[in-house]
């Protein structure tokens, strides 16, 4: 037995960065920097021979102009053996979306990415932009930070998004690791715990828990714990954040990858794309 590691990248691309920037501060440099960082990640993955998952904003897969469209790089990521998932069509704030807008985003992103790869049904994963909605009404979990509310804004309910994904033949969706009912929200353990949480399936969609964002000391300890307990760890990163001096910095990433390589060499760890992991272990 060995532990398993899944690394899922939120590849926001130009549209994602435009829709994420707060306060408004549009610049081309970070967009090109993100593209370069993806290249660095691919080199590192090749070096230690691991496959990862890249959730890409669908619009980037369209033919067009750089840096807004970058289908060649998306094909390259796929050709190197990594999984391409959808990170929505244009990095929408899902809790604001109405019924039809959700369908449009999920449908168009899947279509654009699959057209780019030239492979039908190859994009079966979804990573919600901004990690929203954080509300999941069936679990009595409500996040006021979502700012849009059910039933007017159907995109504010994780349960509703999962139903839509199911209808559009997606297979998995990344979710927060711990949806707490409102009455437990302000009590008890911190969000920085090191639990692994049971993977759930809702409406036929496998919910992939997002354990931690970043590669810093905390991520390294989390990985040690996964190895110790033979657990599956899901780490999230943003290529753009490799250039920032936070938990996802390039220095932390390189150090984390050294540890990953060491564990693989010792037979203690296996690294998978989400879909490969599901096919092999999720039944
Ligand atoms: Zn994003």
Collect residues with CB below 5 Å from ion ligand 1.
10, 12, 16, 129
- Confidence at residue 186, expressed as pLDDT on a 0 to 100 scale: 61
Residue-level pLDDT at 30: 93
- What pLDDT is stored for residue 184 in this prediction? 72
70 alpha carbon to ligand 1 midpoint, in Å? 16
Percent of the chain with pLDDT over 90: 79
| pLDDT at 105 (0 to 100) | 97
pTM of the model as a whole:
0.95
Distance 228 CA to ligand 1 centre (A): 31
Q: Which two tokens stand for residue 188?
A: 């008890």
What is the distance in A from the centroid of ligand 1 to the CA of 21? 11
Distance 129 CA to ligand 1 centre (A): 4
Expressed in angstroms and rounded, the spacing between residue 131 Cα and the centre of ligand 1 is: 7
Tell me the chain's radius of gyration from C-alpha atoms: 18
| CB-CB neighbours of 25 under 10 Å | 7
- Between the two ends of the chain, the Cα-to-Cα distance in Å is 17
Question: Backbone phi, then psi, for 62, in 5-degree steps?
Answer: -70, 150
Strands (E), 98-171: 125-126
Domains of the chain by start residue, with CATH:
3-281 (3.20.20.370)
Contact 269, 235 (CB under 8 A): no
Distance 280 CA to ligand 1 centre (A): 27
Q: At what angle do helices 29-48 and 250-265 cross, to 10 degrees?
A: 10
- Give the whole-angstrom CA distance, residue 156 versus residue 171: 20
Short-list 201, 145, 207, CA closest to 175: 207
User: For 30-51, how does the pLDDT look when each residue is reduced to its tens digit (9 = 90+)?
Assistant: 999 999 999 999 999 999 999 9
Asked if residue 188 has pLDDT above 60, the reply is no
Distance 16 CA to ligand 1 centre (A): 6
Say how many Å lie between the CA of residue 147 and the centre of ligand 1: 18
* Closest listed residue to residue 8, CA positions, set 282, 280, 271, 279: 271
178: left (phi over 0), alpha (psi -120 to 50) or beta: beta
Two tokens, residue 99: 């019924």
Q: What is the mean pLDDT of residues 50-72?
A: 97
Residue 189's CB is within 10 A of a number of other CB atoms, namely 10
Q: How far is the CA of 200 from the centre of ligand 1 (A)?
A: 23
What's the gap in Å between 208 CA and the centre of ligand 1?
16
Ligand 1 centre to CA of 229 (Å) is 30
């Amino acid at each position: 037995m060995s532990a398993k590691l899944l690394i899922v990248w939120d590849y926001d691309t130009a549209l994602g960065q435009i829709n994420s920037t707060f306060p408004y501060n549009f610049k081309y440099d970070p967009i090109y920097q993100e593209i370069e960082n993806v290249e660095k990640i691919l080199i590192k993955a090749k070096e230690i021979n691991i496959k990862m998952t890249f959730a890409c904003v669908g619009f980037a897969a369209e033919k067009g102009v750089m840096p807004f469209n970058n289908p060649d790089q998306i094909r390259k990521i796929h050709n190197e053996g990594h999984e391409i998932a959808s990170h929505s069509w244009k990095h929408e704030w899902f809790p604001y979306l109405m019924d039809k807008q959700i369908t449009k985003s999920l449908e168009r992103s899947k279509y654009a990415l699959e057209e780019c790869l030239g492979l039908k049904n190859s994009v079966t994963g979804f990573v919600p932009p901004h990690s929203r909605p954080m509300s999941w009404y069936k679990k009595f979990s409500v996040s006021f930070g979502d700012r849009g509310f059910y039933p007017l804004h159907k995109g504010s309910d994780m349960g509703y998004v999962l139903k839509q994904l199911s209808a559009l033949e997606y297979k998995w969706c990344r979710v927060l690791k711990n949806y707490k009912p409102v009455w437990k929200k302000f009590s008890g353990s911190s969000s920085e715990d090191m639990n692994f949480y049971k993977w759930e399936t809702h409406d036929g969609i496998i919910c992939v828990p997002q354990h931690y964002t970043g590669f810093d000391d905390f991520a390294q300890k989390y990985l040690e714990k996964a190895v110790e307990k033979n657990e599956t760890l899901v780490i999230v990163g943003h290529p753009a954040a490799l250039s920032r001096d936070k938990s996802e910095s390039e220095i932390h990433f390189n150090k984390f990858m050294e540890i990953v390589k060491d564990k693989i060499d010792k037979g203690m760890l296996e690294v998978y794309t989400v879909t490969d992991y599901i096919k092999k272990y999720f039944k």
